[in-house]
Structure 1
Amino acid sequence: MPNKKIPTASKKQSVKKSRAPQSGKASQAPKIKDIFEGAGFKHVSADGVHFTVGGRTGELDHIFVWENVVLLCEETAGKDATKHCTNKIYLHGKIAANWSTGFFPEYCKKNPGLLEALGPKYQIQDLEVRHIYYSEDVDVIDSVGDPSPMLILSRAQARYFASLVETIFRSAKFELLKFLGVALHQVGDARVSGRAVASDSFPAFALPAAHTSYPAGFAVASFYADPMALIQRAYVMRRDGWEDPDLSYQRFVRAEKLSEMREYLGNNGKVFINNLIVTLPATALLLEDGGKPIDPDAMRHKTNVKLSLPLELGTVGIVDGQHRILSYYEGNDGLDQKISGLRQRQNLLVTGIIFPSSYTPEMRVKFEAEIFLGINNNQSSVHTQLRQDLETIINPETPLAIARAIVTRLSKEGALAGLLQMSQFDPSDKIASGSLGPYVVMPLMRKNSAFYKTWDRDGARDLNDAGDRSAYIDYCVQELKRLLAGASENLKGKWRSVPNGGVLSTTTVGGLLLLLGRLLKGGATLSQIDYVTKLKNIRNVDFSAYTGSSWGKLSNKLHDVI
């Protein structure tokens, strides 16, 4: 909870609620109701139902229910969301503290629709409750302190999930559950019975590392699995996901391709017979007939086994074949009645690569990226931008990868924190950053540049070494943060993106960053620069006169005025 005292007035905040239906256009903010209803959650009307809990009076905007999962949601539109969110955090803290002792039974008397949505199956102790805050116009996560018990849904995440729902409809609920921190053993019958994490067993044919040329500790298993078993567990390596954009790379699933394949399934009914390539978690076990686990390192030949796969969200990585799996999604189209009968009846041929338990998420993604690039290089051309993303993961020592790491850090730290578009789902009022890495930061920070020599004066550092590379990225980020802090201090009131009434654009940011190089050419010693004083005259520059890729001209202008 935030340390500052929260007002306890019961008057509802004046942040405007948005009620317009979702248009589906990226320029308009998604509606939380469209996201969760589209994913199969029931909506319980809550707006206007007033209650008092812990001495605090309020109301909820939305309630969504799926099985025993209950979501208490707040959704606002308008620029003044920080105070509204802070008050809602306080209210929901009271709800969470008094949930079973008073709030839930009393609230259900005022809003019986919640009990109706849950049905008679679940008792209060069975419920998994989550609190969600979503602002359509501003991101509040960095301005409200500790949001507990609220989960803050950012605008980029909302767009991501809205796109996912538009693509795979009710099957999007599995990825939403992972975002909510709800495990499958906490849902439905598993929760009521108190079972531990369930697992499914698949007859499989396993190959040891020696027969695959993979490193020691890996195993490869081929098996048949029904689409539902895969959809529940699957994650697709995307370039822009909600969980960790730095560890994702593949293009988003294409709805039009899914539609074509779904039509084939609905009208033809025949299973796809070509092989799927997935990665499996270290918790996947290869078992002998008697149930004894097999050590992959001890395998010496091809072996018939049972593959035990835990029923856990986000554990099966789809490297190749995402459309063949996801075409079985739970939809609301006319084909779903036919496809629903195939979802657990048909079986897809899967080759699964089991990672050693020592593999970190970074190691996994690099390995998956290499597999993906190898498969697609052999089958079809890979888009240039996608190739750059893959090479950045596979070869982090390259100048482009280092530049991208710096831009990513700047998007999270210092004066540019929260202002840059780092995902295709980031809202359009943020500053596009795709060209900053290759065209601004990479030439500025490349090895043997004037800036690089301020760090590696003796030529003794090696960017192929992970420790040196990390140290150099830290050095770059800290110096750029100092420069940007000085610029933001002198551009008070203007340090916002152009769509939000400020002067910041890709060109502006690029010009400011390149100013560092101009200062070095003038013989400046960076450690001695007081950027607040040095940049005082930039407030008189007409930044609107510089657009497109004219960041070089802007940096010259900035250097002239200082």
Structure 2
Amino acid sequence: MKHRKVKTKKPLTEEQKKEQIKKRKDTIFKRRIRDTFSNMGFTYLPSANKKFKIGYRDVELDYIFMYENIIIICEDTCGKAKNKDHIRSKNESFSEILQNKAAFIDWLKITFPEKKKLLEVYRNERFLVYYIYISQAELSLTDDERHLYSNLIFWEQETLAYFYRITHCLYYSARYEFFRFLEITNDQIGHSGSSGNKTVIRAPIIYPEDATGLRNGVRIVSFMMSAQNLLQTSYVLRKDNWEESMWLYQRLVDKEKIRGIRSFLASKGSAFYNNIIVALPDTIKFEVKSGEIVDINKIGDFQTCSLLIPDEMNTVCIIDGQHRIFAHYEAPETEKYEHIIAPLRKQLHLLVTGLVFPQNMNDADRKKLQSEIFLEINSNAKMVPADVLLHIDMLSRPLSDIGIARRVIERLNKKRTFLNKFELSALDEGKIKVASIIKFALRYLVTITPTDGKTSLYNYWDGDKTLLESNDESSLNDYIEFCAKNIDLYFSTIRDTFKTQWNDQDSKLLSVICINGFIIAFNRQLKKNGIKDYSFYSSCLRKLKIDYSKEKFPYTSSQYRKFSTQILEEAFEFSPEEADAT
């Protein structure tokens, strides 16, 4: 009797194991891209490996997604680092597509005959086409490089992670934020002239000015608004998202919280009694019974008054209550509660309190007030993370040392030395945490009010200090740039002097303790040396002899000043007495 030979699997080599891990990682990355757009209700056109000629180029597109007349082309790249030749090639390819849009639409109709009817709904000129270049690796593109490849929209891991998370929380309703990202308005979607009507909210409660507690001309109105209208017109200034504006303060949406509220809505079929807090756009109007439009200061003279809100995406800013609104999200019919929630979106009206700002109030003052209201509401309900508190301090007190330091960190994160190295978002994984850098070192270097006997970069800035101290945003921006430029120069010499350790992930050189030590040393030597050039810092830092390995680095996380003293004495040749005096 013959015995069957049992095949034994050969153990994988280390190289094969790495290749398997990479393949799994690449598969997850590609699936995330497709899921993100599918969850928003986009139709997928499988364009990979379908090469075609357009204009003067042969083109191949990884993904195509469609929603109404919006076409999104996506390119995924799984390389370990940015490839400028690849980016340049895709930038030029998309330029040809834009210049030959009719030919591109014709190619889509021929290549995807099953989608031909969708493509024939609109004239060729009505289609809006965007190209998103999505990188699995850190692209580390400077602003100049992004401008050079201006045909492309770049998504790095954090941006993809954000939209992936939002679309898994909100499904179809997430596309309103995606359209805000693309700066698309209602009248650009679908057929021309099919949108832009006014939503009328009847019988709001108007609070008199002396009952609001606000003394800056801000008025408050309360009214009822359907969940569907709120979903379609509102947006959230989330701190951890794709926006680069400094005026962001809210936390990421919580999937479990959304699901819990959605379950409650489906079982109870009733709205919440507590207020949603929003900031209303300047385009609102007040209409009395006769149809006359009246000024907000005169509405107290009428018994019945309606609030007119433009039916436009992303115009109503949610200050508090995002989870209660977004629990009504629109989802595919297969979603557990959608068949119950769908009619409730129109039926249920939520109680909304809206802030109406004076027309002449600038954006900074508006966002400052919004962030303060958010903090007042949420600080007692749930522990607010330290980084959120620092961020809101930046908004509410822009000239405070914390506020300036936070903005300097954001600016440094765009400059070459620290490009994309700081953790400015909950979506940034494995990057340098900034709270301790701001609180224990950087604030003292950039403060505009150094304590007696101390100095800061402000002493060396030759800008208009009177203008800055009157809260002039342009002057403040100039000072932020001055600080970031000098700090970037200083740290570029540290990077170049200790290049091996700078690029070693196991080194302590890019730890908070080292960064704080170098910042404090920089600040302490200012009074003696002032601001110097690259060659001066380089000649000094070459004298510093220290082992940055985890095993041998001699300082712990609380010894910032002690480390800075060694830098002063060895690199900048301070005597012990000089160091003690700083």
Aligning the two structures, in what range does the TM-score lie when normalised by the shorter sequence?
Answer: 0.7 to 0.9
Structure 1 residue 125, shift from structure 2 partner: 2.8
Sequence identity, in percent? 27
* Secondary structure, aligned partner of 2:347: coil
For 2:11, the equivalent position in structure 1 comes to none
* 1:158-557 → structure 2 map (5 Å cutoff): 158-188=160-190, 192-195=191-194, 197-205=196-204, 206-215=206-215, 218-244=218-244, 246-301=246-301, 303-332=303-332, 333-376=335-378, 382-428=384-430, 430-446=431-447, 447-448=450-451, 450-452=454-456, 455=459, 465-467=470-472, 473-492=480-499, 495-496=502-503, 498=505, 503-520=509-526, 523-527=528-532, 530-537=536-543, 541-542=547-548, 544=550, 545-546=552-553, 548=557, 551-557=560-566
Q: Could you list the runs of 5+ residues in structure 2 that have no partner in the other structure?
A: 1-21, 572-582
**What amino acid maps onto 1:310 in structure 2?**
P
TM-score of the two chains, using structure 2 as the length reference? 0.82
Structure 1 residue 50, shift from structure 2 partner: 0.5
Alignment partners' CA distance in 2, 1:208 and 1:127: 47
* Secondary structure, aligned partner of 1:49: coil
- Determine if contact 1:85/1:140 at 8 Å carries over to the other structure: no
The answer to which of 486-495 and 195-204 deviates more is 486-495
Larger Rg, first or second structure (1 or 2)? 2
For 1:53, the equivalent position in structure 2 comes to 54
Alignment partners' CA distance in 1, 2:316 and 2:443: 35
- Determine if contact 1:411/1:417 at 8 Å carries over to the other structure: yes
- Determine if contact 1:497/1:505 at 8 Å carries over to the other structure: no
The answer to which of 290-299 and 207-216 deviates more is 207-216
**What amino acid maps onto 2:483 in structure 1?**
C
**For residues 438-464 of structure 1, what are the alpha-carbon distances to aligned partners after superposition, in whole Å with 9 as ceiling and x for unaligned?**
122124445126332870799x97885
Q: Could you list the runs of 5+ residues in structure 1 that have no partner in the other structure?
A: 1-15, 23-27
Structure 1 residue 471, shift from structure 2 partner: 6.1
Could you say if the C-alpha distance between residues 91 and 481 of structure 1 is closer, same or farther in structure 2, counting changes exceeding 3 Å?
Answer: same
Could you say if the C-alpha distance between residues 303 and 486 of structure 1 is closer, same or farther in structure 2, counting changes exceeding 3 Å?
Answer: farther
Could you say if the C-alpha distance between residues 386 and 110 of structure 1 is closer, same or farther in structure 2, counting changes exceeding 3 Å?
Answer: closer
- Determine if contact 1:226/1:348 at 8 Å carries over to the other structure: yes
Structure 1 residue 363, shift from structure 2 partner: 2.0
Alignment partners' CA distance in 2, 1:52 and 1:548: 58
TM-score of the two chains, using structure 1 as the length reference? 0.85
**For residues 389-411 of structure 1, what are the alpha-carbon distances to aligned partners after superposition, in whole Å with 9 as ceiling and x for unaligned?**
32332122322222212222211
Alignment partners' CA distance in 1, 2:320 and 2:33: 31
* Secondary structure, aligned partner of 1:167: helix
Structure 1 residue 256, shift from structure 2 partner: 1.4
Structure 1 residue 245, shift from structure 2 partner: 5.1
**For residues 256-298 of structure 1, what are the alpha-carbon distances to aligned partners after superposition, in whole Å with 9 as ceiling and x for unaligned?**
1111111111122122232221111001111223433222234
- Determine if contact 2:138/2:157 at 8 Å carries over to the other structure: yes
**For residues 58-117 of structure 1, what are the alpha-carbon distances to aligned partners after superposition, in whole Å with 9 as ceiling and x for unaligned?**
2001011112211011111112433211211111111111112x222134323435535x
For 2:3, the equivalent position in structure 1 comes to none
Structure 1 residue 560, shift from structure 2 partner: 4.8
Aligned Cα RMSD in Å? 3.2
For 1:25, the equivalent position in structure 2 comes to none
Structure 1 residue 316, shift from structure 2 partner: 1.1
* Secondary structure, aligned partner of 2:262: helix
Could you say if the C-alpha distance between residues 303 and 244 of structure 1 is closer, same or farther in structure 2, counting changes exceeding 3 Å?
Answer: farther
Matched, 1:36 2:37: yes
The answer to which of 149-158 and 60-69 deviates more is 149-158
Alignment partners' CA distance in 1, 2:254 and 2:134: 26
- Determine if contact 1:30/1:159 at 8 Å carries over to the other structure: no
- Determine if contact 2:508/2:548 at 8 Å carries over to the other structure: no
Could you say if the C-alpha distance between residues 268 and 404 of structure 1 is closer, same or farther in structure 2, counting changes exceeding 3 Å?
Answer: same
Alignment partners' CA distance in 2, 1:396 and 1:465: 11
* Secondary structure, aligned partner of 1:331: coil
The answer to which of 369-378 and 244-253 deviates more is 369-378
- Determine if contact 1:45/1:113 at 8 Å carries over to the other structure: no
- Determine if contact 2:133/2:154 at 8 Å carries over to the other structure: yes
**For residues 183-218 of structure 1, what are the alpha-carbon distances to aligned partners after superposition, in whole Å with 9 as ceiling and x for unaligned?**
122112xxx143463321111323453553445654
Alignment partners' CA distance in 2, 1:461 and 1:124: 54
- Determine if contact 2:225/2:351 at 8 Å carries over to the other structure: yes
- Determine if contact 1:445/1:451 at 8 Å carries over to the other structure: no
* Secondary structure, aligned partner of 1:436: helix
- Determine if contact 1:400/1:437 at 8 Å carries over to the other structure: yes
